[in-house]
Amino acid sequence: MAVLLQIRDAHKSYGEQVLLDGAEATLIEDVKVGFIGRNGAGKSTLLRILLGEEELDRGEVIRHPRLSVGYLRQHDPFQPGESALDFLMRDSGQPDWKCGEVAGEFELKGAYLEGPVKELSGGWQTRVKLAALLLHEPNLLLLDEPTNFLDLRTQILLEHFLRNFRQACLIVSHDRAFLKATCSHTLDLSRGKLTMFPGPIDAFLDNVAEQKERDEKTNAAIVAKQKQLQRFIDKNRANANTASQARSKAKQLERLQTTEIADDEPTAFIRTPVVEPRRGPAVRCQNLSIGYPDRTVATDIDVEIEHGERAAIVGDNGQGKTTFLRTIVDSLKPLSGSLRWGHGCDLGVYAQHVYTSLPENQTVQQYLEFNSLPGTTTQQILKVAGAMLFRGGAVKKKISVLSGGERARLCMAGILLGEHNVLILDEPGNHLDVETIEALASALLEYKGTVIFTSHDRHFMKRVATCIVEVRDGSVRNYNGDYDAYLYAVNKEIDDGERERHASKGGTAPPPAPTKAASNEPQMDERKLRKELSKAEKAIARLDEQKTDLNAKLMSETDPDEALRLHNELTAITEQLGEAEERWCELQEQLEAYA
């Protein structure tokens, strides 16, 4: 497989902040890579470098002569009054039938395709941009947080698009479920270094944890051995009969080196307000109508959410989720009907409009002092600030210089300093990195109050939600099923729509693009490939079993010498397993050409 793009010895700094420090990575054709890293690590900067919008301080980016990059634009590329079809034809130069065919892959038809594109919601505009990408036929896609603010249906359509896209992708995302569904490799940016892992994000995170545990175990064994050798040397170096043995042991001691284990990067340990569990309805809507003076969004709403539940508000963008949330927090008055909160409910509200309208001139500490309960000590405020990664001098930073992720964490910290027994959270995971989202989910699982939230992060939804409230087609209702059931229903709707679309074209799915198998190469090549692929699978299974066995032995071994031997054997097996997995990927890619 051809190398599309190579990063060599890349260095990039902004003042004292080092983003890239000798970073290296290789992107090859047909491989989809999930790009992860902490907020502020430099992911977006690296994308701009790959696009040629910024330069490295030192190092080089080598591009293949046939490299054609497609970038999902975040800005608005549409002209006034332009329809989606007009834009696609103008942007790609393709005829209307071709643009309409590709637009259909994203359910763009009728008024969505022919009406003014600027009147579409953000999610539908993203579908138009994705269709434009496909029409340009790039061989490398760069996607920067493509799922932010996308509803579930659009996310699944994007997944289908990427699974059928037979070219390379580099996808920056904090959405673990999305990366797991679309990417076969993981690229991590941490402490200025790039690490490419030949597996999806879950396997990468497990590998990092296992490697750290192994290194700690091995270091403990080495330190024990070092002490053992030092005791022998101290005891025998002054004795003429054993001095030579002591010198030999000293040389052995010099060769024993522990593995350097990087300190854990600061992680947000999130605590929720401590509240007493309550029973009965937290909020009850009866015959409720919501919307605006000139437009009704939903009517006849009869929904009840119990104390202690974690209710996920779901539905496509534009259906009214935000309108419903604004109504229940009383920032939007009901058109009719009744909405009542239970006695003693204390609401803490976290929404996008909140953290984008923070007082610019206040510092982090001043904001938290202003929003905390009377009597809260400075020490308590600093503890909460530290938990949300505002440590040391960071609490003196002005809100005006904070990033989107920092503002989100600050707003969350302000809520955590209260005593709210109901939390209303509108997209709490946007702009937060993977680790902080995980910490938030864990905290909400421990929270004894009521949570009502929206999120486009399926991993987060699945972990947190105990009940589902669906906003759809002018109604709001309690969904009779868990999040997995809702996810299945949406997937089925999309699959049924795709089958209907393909059937309307002539009863079958579109013919596949020409492949290598279309050549006159003998069929024996395919049989050989399948035979070698089978051998590779057996080798991977065998090596993986050996690795698991060795890892278990290493975790329980107390003898320093034996632990060291096991570590060396485990390292060799891990390298062999990595080579076998890479070979399997190559064979699989070759075999797909015959499909």
In tens, the pLDDT along 504-558 reads: 655 444 433 333 333 343 344 667 777 787 787 778 878 877 877 777 676 666 6
Tokens representing 170 are 């580099």
CA distances from 48 to 44, 55, 67 (A): 6, 9, 16
Q: So what CATH class is 281-492?
A: alpha beta
Q: 3-state SS of the chain: helix, strand, coil percent to 5? A: 45, 20, 30
SS3 category, 587 = helix
Q: So what CATH class is 3-204?
A: alpha beta
From 158, 163, 152, 151, select the one nearest 131 (Cα to Cα).
158
CA 324 to CA 475: how far, in whole Å?
10
CA 450 to CA 273: how far, in whole Å?
11
Q: Is the pLDDT of residue 285 over 90?
A: yes
Helix (H) or strand (E) holding 187: strand 185-190
CA end-to-end span of the chain: 18
Regarding beta strands 281-292 and 168-172, do their DSSP bridges make them parallel or antiparallel, or are they unpaired? unpaired
CA 554 to CA 220: how far, in whole Å?
11
145-170 pLDDT, tens digit per residue, is: 888 767 888 888 888 888 888 889 99
Residue 309 and residue 450 in contact, taking contact as beta carbons nearer than 8 Å: yes
Domain pair 3-204 / 281-492, same fold: yes
pTM (global) more than 0.85? no
Strand partners, 116: 83
Would you list the domain boundaries of the chain?
Answer: 3-204, 281-492, 523-592
- Mean of pLDDT over the chain: 83
Question: In the Cβ-directed half-sphere of 429, how many Cα atoms lie within 13 Å?
Answer: 30
Tokens representing 192 are 């200025």
Tokens representing 96 are 């209307």
Q: Name residue, tokens 């002018």.
A: 474
Helix (H) or strand (E) holding 58: strand 58-63
Helix (H) or strand (E) holding 14: strand 3-14
Weakest mean pLDDT among 167-181, 445-459, 548-562? 548-562
Report residue 259: phi and psi, to 5°.
-80, 130
Tokens representing 190 are 């941490």
From 151, 138, 182, select the one nearest 29 (Cα to Cα).
138
Q: What is the pLDDT of residue 185?
A: 94
